Structure 1
Amino acid sequence: MTYPKEIYKEICFVFARLGLFAFGGPAAHIAMMEDELVTKRKWLTKTDFMDLIGFTNLIPGPNSTELAIALGYKHGGKIGLFLAGICFIFPAMTIVLLLAMFYKQYGEVPLIEAIFIGIKPVILAVIIQALFRLGQTTIKGTKSLLLFLAAYLLSLMGVGEITILILSGLTMLLPQQLVKWRSLHLAVEPMSLTVLFLTFLKIGSVLYGSGYVLLAFLQAEFIDRYAALTSAQLLHAVAIGQFPPGPVFTTATFVGYLIIMGGFIGWLVTIF
């Protein structure tokens, strides 16, 4: 189906503006989309909007970005899907790239280090607050609380995130006791474009929830497994990801730029 060019222009304008000014993480992004597209522009009903939110919560990946893509498809078909995704992601990605370049060039300067030291407590507070809000909506009842505690204990024991996700899903699906598995430690390859791409592909395929869940995966893969980043660099990446508008997961583009010496190539690889 072919849509008028005005539809595509409207999609580009709306999502580029959201990507440029949507500060506050996934919850804020979704609220702004509802206000803009349901209340003001009447693209769809509130019921349809809630259905799309439910759909994006059933699949892995960053929820607010997936919602933007779904809204673009609903309003402008396949072309609208791509336009909405690109326009929503690109502003934050570009800002993060510029900040990553600045960090890589001047990150060791005492003044810059002092700025990041001041940012770290704020970022930790933001993460804790986000986790608390997420916990309020997801931990309902004794069963979900016990599952959360079991998953937390498994994480402390060193079990991989993917294994925990599978075990948790099976525990909710099947009436059997949760079995404690230890994650398999495979031979570590030197970090390369291929490893970087496959690592982010794996993360993207099993990442449920908001962009904040990405942090645990980045810690496990790039600090614990490959030692490609330091804890300080990850905190800096989170700080940079929080600074611009748009989806929080643009933190990944900062990580890709730092890890790969080519810089821009690593930045592009993490997008896909």
Structure 2
Amino acid sequence: MAEPSFRELTTTFARIGILSFGGPAGQIALMHRELVDDKGWIEEGAYLRALNFCHLLPGPEAQQLATYIGWRLHGLKGGLTAGLLFVIPGAAIILGLSILYGYAANLAWFDALFLGIKAAVLAIVVQALIRIGRRALNSPFKRILAFAAFLALFLFNLPFPLVVLGSGAIGMVVAAVRPDWLKLAPPKPVDAPPTPRRAIIGHTIRAIIAWGLIWAAPMALVLLMLGQEHILWKIGVFFSQLAVVTFGGAYAVLAYMAQEAVQSHHWLNAGEMADGLGLAETTPGPLIMVTQFVGYLAAFRAPEPFSPLMAGILGAGLTTWVTFAPCFLWIFAFAPWIERLEHARKLQGGLAALTAAVVGVIANLTVWFALHILFTRVAEAHAGPVRFYVPDGESFAWTTALLAILAAILLFALNRGVMVTLAICAAGGLLLGAL
């Protein structure tokens, strides 16, 4: 196996960070081609074990995989370099687009442009639902779990963390008594790690303390200078919580943000959330960078005592910090356990059940987006613990529906990529706006 220099590692991950379009699937495939096939820096089995490990963690699995590989090759500085280079290009672009969005919103041409992006995002989310569902729901029990998760969120408005973590707990129990319900693959034989357990525990404790302090540092500063009522404190707390419970990728994150940022905090509306996902889809880096867009708008619209631009930049920066600092914590604290976790059948069962529940989470997001994008007025009705969405038929947005059909044709019938679909639908929105 080749041993790269630190300079080679830096230039390679800089290139990966700039080219990492296409969401986690495309990013994982890109790293596999670069690091396993082309350069031979990590063997196939180790790459797959690392990927399985990252799926067990909250947060963006592709960024965490990059951090782990950097750590494996060059220790702490390698992990930091690989992880940061995976994030920085996309974060810089999203920040610039968020600034443009904050100032250009409500302009006729800008609204027309994002009309097409909203419609395309609806088709993209449907595509993600189908792809993930085909892969994850390979047993009747998993299909039941996904449907139950959908009902729990859509009809009963249960908290996202409760649904996801509860599904994981169910999966751990089922893995112990009826593993065939989850269709778990047999564990691969691997050599036990040579590092003694006591040394690994000491490493884990030190990493948790160090990165916990790094994670909390900007929040302590906000608390001392601005207090708990300031928007920056609320943003930091919200996205810190999000970083702990966001299993299942960016689309699952969006479901939780839609439930909280839109409906509870009122930082933005459903259409703006779709705009943010559209921006994240067109930029390199993890799709979870959409959180930066939300943090920017939340602070931009409640800027005191700063200017709107400065508040927005601070909100975006704080959001990015509390979103990705935990990713480094998970990797640096738990990476030495990776070979041992390969044999943890209960954890594998919890992950399988959690992945199935995420299909229900994304289904909830899909229906929620469709209602709020295709209808300009959607009311909520309640019958005991059950919550219903009631769209106003007279508010049906036929232009959005037309563009969504165009996006579906491009994605499903013509097999066009996300970038092409977004570009064509954005142009269609401008054309319809002009007409």
TM-score (norm 2): 0.57
Deviation at residue 167 of structure 1 after TM alignment: 2.3
CA RMSD of aligned residues (A): 1.7
- Quick one: distance in 2 between partners of 1:53 and 1:85? 15
Where does residue 24 of structure 1 map in the other structure?
Answer: 22
Deviations 1:195-241 (Å, cap 9, x if unpaired)?
Answer: 11111111111111222221101101101211111111111111111
Matched with 2:408 is none
Matched position secondary structure for 2:284? coil
What is the aligned partner in structure 2 of residue 228 from structure 1? Answer: 267
Alignment partners' CA distance in 2, 1:107 and 1:225? 22
- Paired position in structure 1 for 2:373: none
Distance 2:277 2:158 in 1: 23
**How far apart, CA to CA, are the structure 2 residues paired with 1:215 and 1:11?**
32
Q: Which residue of 2 aligns with 1:145?
A: 143
SS in 1 for 2:131: helix
One-letter amino acid of the structure 2 residue matched with residue 86 of structure 1? L
1:218 counterpart = 2:257: yes
1:162 matched to 2:154: no
Q: Contact 1:191–1:228 at 8 Å: present in 2 too? A: no
- Post-superposition shift, 1:190? 5.9
2:284 and 2:113 mapped to 1: Cα distance? 19
For 2:172, give the aligned amino acid: L
Q: Is 9-18 or 117-126 further displaced after alignment?
A: 9-18
Residue identity matched to 2:163: I
1:117 to partner: Cα distance: 0.1
- 8 Å contact from structure 1 (residues 123, 239) kept in 2: yes
Specify the alignment match of 1:179 in structure 2.
Answer: none
Q: Secondary structure at the match of 1:263?
A: helix
Correspondence 1:271 to 2:270: no
Q: Distance in 2 between matches of 1:21 and 1:172?
A: 36
Quote the offset at 1:26 in angstroms: 0.2
How many residues align structurally? 256
Q: Specify the structure having the higher radius of gyration (Cα).
A: 2
Q: 1:207 aligns with which of 246, 249, 259?
A: 246
Q: Is the 8 A contact 2:164 2:247 kept in 1?
A: no
**Can you list the C-alpha shifts for 1:121-170, whole angstroms capped at 9, x where unaligned?**
11111111112111112112111111111111001111010111232123
For 2:170, give the aligned amino acid.
Answer: T
Check conservation: 2:9, 2:70, Cα contact below 8 A: yes
Of 108, 111, 119 in structure 2, the residue corresponding to residue 110 of structure 1 is 108
DSSP 3-state at the match of 2:276: helix
Determine the structure 2 residue equivalent to 1:95: 93
- Note if 1:195 corresponds to 2:193: no
Supply the distance in 2 between the matched residues of 1:200 and 1:7 (Cα, whole angstroms): 36
Secondary structure (helix, strand or coil) at the match of 2:22 reads coil
Instruction: Choose the corresponding residue for 1:258, options 279, 297, 300.
Output: 297
Structure 2: 5+ residue stretches without partners: 178-227, 304-310, 322-435
Q: What is aligned with 1:49?
A: 47
Question: 1: distance between equivalents of 2:230 and 2:111?
Answer: 26
TM-score by length of 1: 0.90
The CA deviation at 1:78 is 0.4
Partner of 1:242: 281
The 1-side partners of 2:165 and 2:285 are apart by 30
Q: Which residues in structure 2 correspond to 1:56-135 (within 5 Å)? A: 56-135=54-133
CA–CA distance in 2 between the matches of 1:174 and 1:84?
36
Report the identity percentage: 29
Separation in structure 1 between the aligned mates of residue 229 and residue 270 of structure 2, nearest angstrom: 19
Shift of residue 17, structure 1, vs aligned partner: 1.3
Q: CA contact under 8 A between 2:55 and 2:61: conserved in structure 1?
A: yes
How many Å apart are 1:12 and its aligned residue? Answer: 2.1
User: Equivalent residue for 2:339?
Assistant: none
Task: For structure 1, list consecutive stretches of 5 or more residues without a partner in the other structure.
Answer: 177-188
One-letter identity of the residue aligned with 1:237: G
Deviations 1:53-98 (A, max 9, x none): 0000111111111111111111111001111111110000000011
Task: Answer yes or no: is the 8 Å Cα contact 2:296–2:316 preserved in 1.
Answer: yes
Which amino acid is the alignment partner of residue 103 of structure 1? Answer: Y
Counterparts of 1:171 and 1:52 in 2: how far apart (Å)? 24
Contact 2:17-2:284 within 8 A present in 1 as well = yes
Looking at structure 2, the residues matched to 246 and 167 of structure 1 have their Cα atoms a distance apart, in angstroms, of: 29
